[in-house]
Structure formats: C-alpha cells, structure tokens
Copies of this chain bind each other. A is one copy, B any other.
Amino acid sequence: MFNFDYRNPTKIVFGQNRLNELDQLIPADAKVLITYGGGSVKKFGTLDAVKAALGQRTVLEFGGIEPNPRYQTLMQAAALAKAEQIDFLLAVGGGSVMDGTKFIALASHYRGDCAELLFKGTEQVDASAVLPLGTVATLPATGSEMNGNAVITHPDGKLALSSPLAYPQFSILDPSLTFTLPKIQVANGVVDAFVHVCEQYMTYPVDARIQDRMAEGILRTLIEIGPITINEPNNYAARANLVWSATNALNGLIGVGVPQDWATHCIGHELTARFGIDHAQTLAIVMPALWQARRQQKAAKLLQYAERVWDICDGSDEQRIDAAIAKTRAFFESLGISTRLSHYADDENSIDDIIAALDAHGMTQLTETQDLGLDDSRAILQSAW
C-alpha cells in the first residue's frame, strides 16, 4: 500500500424528506445563489421545496448550467455571485451542476484570470476568497456530492479541477428525488459509478486489501441493483443503494494508497467533445477495449476481479480474463448502453480527430504506468469501433 493522505469534510444528509433541514445547514443570514441545470428541478417541484426550506433568506437563482458545464456559462454565474455579494452557493441537480458550482465557488472572488483554475491548478487559491457551497444531489453518478473535483468544458477542452476548498460543506442525498429521472440517465449513472471504481481498482496489486474489497463491494452492488433501479424507478431501496454506491465510488476512500488509471476518462472526454456522446457512454465504449489492450499489464487485477466480482473461477487465466471483460461489456449493454463507438459515430476516420485532441491536451502517456501512447489509444478506439 502506498503512503496517502485522506480528508473528506463533506457532511452527508442521506434519506427521504431531508430538504427542510437546509434551514439548519445554511447560515440564517446568508444570501443564497441556487444553481441548477435545464429545468427538471423546476418541473418536478424540487426547486420550490428548496426555496421553501430556505425561508426568509434572500435567494437568487442561476439556471441553465448545461451537461458538461461550460466555462463561459459558469463565468456568468461567478460574476453574478460577486456582484450580488452572495454568501452561499446551493447546487441543485446532478454532476454537471455540482461540478459547475464548485468552479463558481472558486472563481467568484478569484484574483486573476479564472482560466488559471483549469490550466494552472488551484494551489494558489486563497481559502478566504472561496464561497461555501452545498448540494442537493438529484442524480447519482459522478460522486461530485462528496469530493473536491470538477470537470469543466473550456473552449480548449474538457479540463479537470481539484481542490480541498471545493468540497461541498454538505450534500443532501434523497434517493426519492431520483424517481423522475429518465431511464437513460439512471443507466448512465450506474455505468459512471462502475467505471469510477474501476479506474481506481483495475491497475496492479499493491496489497491494499480494504480498498480492493470496498471497490469490489461497490461493483457487485451496482451489478445487483443496476437493472432493478432502471426498471423500477420508484424502488426506494434500489435507488438508495445506487445513490450511496455512486457517492462511495468517488469520495476518495477506495482510491487511497493505490495506483489509479483514469485513461478511460481521458479518452472518453475527447469522445464527448468530438461526438457529443454522453460521458458514461464514452466510458462504456473505451473501458472494455482498454482492458483488452492492457490485459497483460492488468492481468493480476483482472483475475481478481473475475473471481470476486463475477464469480468466474473456472478456466485458464486467459479464459477468465476474457470472461470478465465479456461480462463487463454485457452488463453495460444490458443497461441499454452500447459499448461500440460505431453506434454513436458514423466515420471511423474520425478516430484521427480523437487522437489529435489527446495529443493537443498532452494525453500521450496514459494509465497507471504512464505508458499508453497515442498509437495505443488509436488501437483501443479502433477495436472499440
């Protein structure tokens, strides 16, 4: 096990009928900016319930944060928060709204060009210049509700931000708020959480047994409840397990002291940028193909995964690895998510665009061993076609 640091200060408020507790969670004299996305939180009454819970506080709204939240949009919100002297940001929505609100929190009073937050990192950020934020999470997937990470779409690409100052002070996770989600978003959430776990697990063994067991436990849970939660939207127990799986998939705990990969995400981000494919679907395309290409480097963990997650115990090493990859692909497909790039794109030659973008973004040495080059990424995408 590698040396590590871990601290996660977010307070989780989990369960049904918790929205009224916003009144205790946010200072009574705070001027609040509620941030949200495309309007489903309006349509289904969540926004009204949130505003009711905030009582007499002065509340402003900023809607229209898009999936893969755009830098320009968020800069408008940051300007609003600064001009209106907002004291507290409350993100109501899914991963894009939460990610975007983290950027707003850091950017509103940032002394300098806010693009630096994406291109230079966040170490120079003054804690006293960061707005506090909380979330009401309506879509279990990204884990953004309990980490300090965000992915922002800048004109120059999808860029990641990470800061101990960007953790939500609290996140209200009410699984019943997910009942109204379209099936495809739930399926995307299952896949997103699944791949988050895999990026921190499917590398090489370092005898980190707790982390491995937790990772395997989340994967097994997602396999068990994935189909149920998609087919039974009002099944509270299944949704509760999905929500808590997604949070634990990326709250940092399973990733401490172990190597991490994230190549699937790096390549996937370019697929979203080029083709507009949903984030989770890009992961479902890339990961099985990447595992196939990296089956030697990842052999020990693939065999462990085969046995512990899929109960695959018979056959040679190669047969068990084949079976594990096939089971993973079949699981994604069973949720209604195609794992083939040709399902989403027309022209195989456009893979060249992806490789060019990876090159432009410096993604030339990917995976846990930093030895997946552009030719390897090209071969992976071709095999995923």
Contact = CB atoms under 8 A, between A and B. Distances in A.
A6 B247 CA distance: 12
A14 B216 CA distance: 22
A10 B218 CA distance: 23
Contacts of A6: 11-12, 14
A213 B207 contact: no
Contacts of A237: 1, 207
Interface in A1-55: 1-16, 18
A189 to B, nearest CB: 15
Interface residues on A, range: 35 or more
B12 A5 contact: yes
A257 interface: yes
A288 to B, nearest CB: 23
A13 B256 CA distance: 11
A209 interface: yes
B4 A7 contact: no
Interface string A233-252: 00001001100110010000
B257 A14 contact: yes
A218 B207 contact: no
A210 B218 contact: yes
A22 to B, nearest CB: 14
Contacts of A225: 209
A2 B237 CA distance: 10
Contact of A213 (B208, B218, B240, B256): B218
Nearest to A7: B11
A9 B212 CA distance: 23
The 8 closest A-B pairs by CB, nearest first: A213-B217, A3-B15, A7-B11, A209-B221, A6-B12, A207-B237, A1-B240, A9-B9
